[in-house]
């Protein structure tokens, strides 16, 4: 149904981006390396997906230092959480519709 399809967020069309958003919605924040380990992707791959989500303002970055090691953490923004929830609702609605 065309109406339902427009509720799907283009930003989450990519599986990795959807997963990143899922993690950030389930946790207060998550650091780059933990994300990399969890999703089993390369540095560059992860970085590009994170950039895309940042551009949509769905996530925000917090850069700090742990002693001398740089530490980059990500958080879901309110806009991102809302978008994610809408996307989930759209998915669930599609199931309900198809079940009739």
Partner 1 sequence: MKDKDVLDEISSIKNIMERSTRFISLSGLSGVMAGFYALIGAVLAYRLIPIYSNQSFYEVFVNHNDHIGIAYDGPAFFTTFIVLGLSVLLLSVATGIGLTIRKAQRKGQNVWNQSSRSFLKKGALPLLAGGCFILILLWQGYYGIIAPACLIFYGLALAAASQYTYGDVKWLGLCEIALGLIAMLFPLYGLLFWALGFGVLHILYGTIMYFKYDRENSAH
Q: Which residues bind partner 1 (CB under 8 A)?
A: 5, 8, 15, 18-19, 22-23, 25-27, 30-31, 34, 37-39, 88, 91-92, 94-95, 98
Least distance from partner 1 to the Cβ atom of residue 94, Å = 5
Report the residue number, 68 or 95, with the smaller CB distance to partner 1.
Answer: 95
Least distance from partner 1 to the Cβ atom of residue 54, Å = 19
Q: For the chain, first and last CA: distance in Å?
A: 13
Contact 38, 28 (CB under 8 A): no
Least distance from partner 1 to the Cβ atom of residue 1, Å = 10
C-alpha 97 chain-centroid distance: 26
Cα distances from 55 to residues 2, 16, 38, 79, in angstroms, run 27, 16, 23, 12
């Amino acid at each position: 149904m065309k109406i339902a399809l427009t509720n799907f967020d283009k930003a989450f069309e990519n599986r990795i981006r959807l997963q990143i958003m899922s993690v950030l919605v389930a946790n207060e924040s998550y650091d780059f390396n933990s994300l990399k380990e969890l999703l089993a992707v390369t540095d560059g791959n992860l970085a590009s997906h994170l950039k895309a989500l940042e551009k949509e303002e769905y996530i925000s970055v917090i850069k700090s230092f742990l002693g001398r090691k740089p530490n980059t953490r990500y958080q879901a923004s309110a806009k991102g959480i809302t978008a994610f929830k809408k996307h989930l609702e759209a998915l669930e609605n599609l199931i309900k519709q198809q079940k009739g």
